[in-house]
Chain A
Amino acid sequence: MIELSEVRKVFNQGKPNEFCAIRGISLRIEAHEITVLKGPSGSGKTTLLSLIGCLARPSSGRITLNGRALSGLPERFLTDVRRRTFGFVFQHFNLIKGLTVLENVMLPAYPAGPEWSALRRQAQQLLERFGIGAKAGYKVEWLSGGEAQRVAICRALINDPEVLIADEPTANLDTKLSREFMEIVRMLKEQGKTVILTSHDPVVFAAPVVDRLIEVRDGLIAGGA
Chain B
Amino acid sequence: MLTFIRRQKYLIDYTLSSLLRRKTKNLGLLLVYTLIVFLLASVMLYTHALQREAGIILAESPELIVQRMVAGRHDLVPAEYLEALRGIRGVRAAQGRLWGYYYDPVVKANYTLLVPADRALQRGEIVVGAGVARTHNMGRGDYLTLRAADGKAMPLRVADVLHHESELVSADLILLGEADYREFFRIDAGLYTDLALQVRNPREVRTIAEKVTRLFPDTRPILREEILRTYDSIFNWRQGIVVVLLSGAILAFAIFAWDKASGLSAEEKREIGILKAIGWETSDVIRMKFWEGAVISLSAFLGGYLLAYLHVFYGAAMLFEPVLKGWAVLYPAFRPVPFIDGLQVATLFFLTVFPYTAATIVPVWRAAIMDPDAVMR
Contact = CB atoms under 8 A, between A and B. Distances in A.
A touches B in complex, CB < 8 A: yes
A32 to B, nearest CB: 22
A105 to B, nearest CB: 10
A110 B375 contact: no
Interface stretch (B5-13, B24-32, B146-154): B5-13
A111 B270 CA distance: 19
Contacts of A108: 278-280
Given A91-B376, A159-B279, A96 B271 contact: yes
B373 A56 contact: yes
B17 interface: yes
B20 to A, nearest CB: 8
A116 B14 CA distance: 13
A76 B281 contact: yes
B376 A115 contact: no
Contacts of B377: 46
Contacts of B14: 107, 110
Given A99-B17, A112-B7, A167 B281 contact: no
A110 B10 contact: yes
B21 interface: yes
Interface in B335-351: none
Interface residues of B, number: 31
Contacts of A82: 279, 372
B279 A167 contact: no
A202 interface: no
Q: Which of A47, A107, A113, A114 has the most CB of B within 10 A?
A: A113
Given A80-B281, A159-B279, A94 B375 contact: yes
Nearest to B274: A94
Interface in A93-107: 94-99, 103, 107
Q: Which of A82, A96, A116 has the most CB of B within 10 A?
A: A96
Nearest to B6: A113
A47 B377 CA distance: 8
B10 A55 contact: no
A88 interface: yes
Contacts of A95: 274
B283 A76 contact: yes
A46 B376 contact: yes
Contact of B7 (A96, A99, A103, A110): A110
A37 B54 CA distance: 81
Interface in B118-134: none
Interface string B365-377: 0000001110111
B282 interface: yes
A189 interface: no
A75 interface: yes
Nearest to B282: A75
Contacts of A91: 376
Q: Which of A50, A95, A115 has the most CB of B within 10 A?
A: A50
A116 B282 CA distance: 22
A79 interface: yes
Contacts of B273: 94
A55 B281 contact: no
Nearest to A50: B373
B137 interface: no
B280 A111 contact: yes
B3 interface: yes
B138 interface: no
Given A76-B281, A79-B281, A113-B6, A107 B275 contact: yes
Q: Which of B271, B273, B375 has the most CB of A within 10 A?
A: B375
Interface string A105-138: 0011011111110000000000000000000000
A215 B10 CA distance: 41
30 contacts: A47-B373, A56-B373, A75-B281, A76-B282, A76-B283, A79-B282, A82-B279, A83-B279, A88-B277, A90-B376, A91-B376, A94-B278, A96-B274, A96-B275, A97-B267, A98-B21, A99-B17, A107-B14, A107-B278, A108-B279, A108-B280, A110-B7, A110-B10, A110-B284, A111-B281, A112-B3, A113-B7, A116-B6, A155-B278, A167-B376
| 6 closest A-B pairs by CB | A113-B7, A83-B279, A55-B373, A50-B373, A110-B10, A113-B6
Interface of A: 46-47, 49-50, 55-56, 75-76, 79-80, 82-83, 88, 90-91, 94-99, 103, 107-108, 110-116, 155-156, 159, 167
